[in-house]
């Protein structure tokens, strides 16, 4: 079985399931080209982490500290309204679809959350099939033969969750906002005859490089990604 570029990235990040990880490890050890690709991905991830580490470690600017120190407390009624709104949002995001109904119903309910009424998709946003994959799939646990595979997840400078993806129809990066999954970067997808999702004109390396430029920090770990999905990518 061939190893896809997405699987190599997941292998380098330690996000493949144990059985598949051993299969990929054996192929990487036997193929210098695959080993080089894994090393390149690891170097890219390390570079990304090193690039943003100084920002995370920098002290809070004095002007922001002073702003917090001098800010007047909000009225009690405002706090109560904010708490009620927060609790309602948490209650909605904590619902586990599997407890409500079967997988098919879960998928339809999830789509109802992030697609506009009437099922119409705003221009520049992911359609139903892609939005479903972006909303539900995790890098570490993706269905075999999926039309779209998620390469990685991260936050941008606006604090939005973004996900790099590769599929037969298209590839690119989408970020979650109030309307749905807004397409930030798009490229041609793999042809229907290709089983390893190699992309024409916008390969995984190019998408990952663009994700590095867009990211406000390192890629999400498997645990962080699962938690983000649980909270509705908010």
- Within 8 A by CB and 6+ apart from 130, the residues are 148, 165, 167, 169, 170, 174, 181
Strand boundaries in the chain, DSSP class E: 148-155, 161-167, 170-176, 181-188
pLDDT at 203: 61
pLDDT at 134: 94
| Residues forming a β-bridge with 152 | 164
> Is the separation of the CB atoms in 172 and 187 below 8 Å?
yes
Distance, CA of 133 to CA of 168 (rounded, Å):
13
pLDDT at 144: 77
> Is the separation of the CB atoms in 37 and 231 below 8 Å?
no
User: Burial letters for 72-89: b for 16+ Cβ neighbours within 10 Å, e otherwise?
Assistant: eeeeeeeeeeeeeeeeee
Which residues of the chain fall short of a pLDDT of 50? 74, 76-77, 92-118, 191-202
Residue 131, Cβ density class (10 Å: 0-12 exposed, 13-18 middle, ≥19 buried): buried
Distance, CA of 67 to CA of 90 (rounded, Å):
28
> Is the separation of the CB atoms in 147 and 133 below 8 Å?
yes
What's the chain's Rg over C-alpha atoms? 20
pLDDT at 230: 93
How does pLDDT run across 66-81, given as a tens digit for each residue? 766 655 554 544 556 6
Distance, CA of 71 to CA of 67 (rounded, Å):
6
């Amino acid at each position: 079985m061939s190893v896809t570029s997405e699987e190599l990235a997941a292998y380098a990040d330690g996000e493949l399931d144990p059985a598949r990880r051993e299969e990929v490890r054996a192929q990487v050890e036997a193929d210098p080209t695959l080993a080089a690709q894994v090393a390149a991905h690891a170097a890219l991830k390390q570079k990304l982490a090193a690039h943003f580490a100084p920002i995370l470690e920098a002290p809070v600017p004095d002007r922001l500290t002073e702003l917090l120190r001098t800010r007047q407390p909000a009225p009690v009624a405002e706090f109560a309204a904010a708490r009620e709104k927060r609790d309602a949002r948490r209650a909605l995001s904590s619902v586990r679809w599997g407890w409500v109904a079967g997988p098919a119903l879960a998928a339809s309910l999830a789509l109802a959350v992030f697609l506009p009424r009437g099922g119409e998709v705003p221009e520049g946003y992911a359609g139903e099939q892609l939005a479903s994959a972006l909303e539900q799939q995790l890098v570490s646990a993706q269905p075999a033969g999926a039309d779209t595979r998620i390469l990685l997840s991260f936050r941008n400078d606006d604090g939005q969750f973004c996900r790099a993806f590769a599929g037969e129809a298209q590839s690119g990066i989408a970020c979650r906002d109030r309307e749905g999954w807004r397409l930030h970067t798009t490229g041609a997808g793999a042809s229907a005859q290709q089983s390893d999702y190699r992309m024409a004109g916008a390969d995984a390396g190019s998408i990952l490089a663009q994700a590095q430029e867009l990211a406000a920090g390192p890629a999400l770990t498997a645990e962080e990604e699962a938690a983000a999905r649980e909270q509705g990518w908010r």
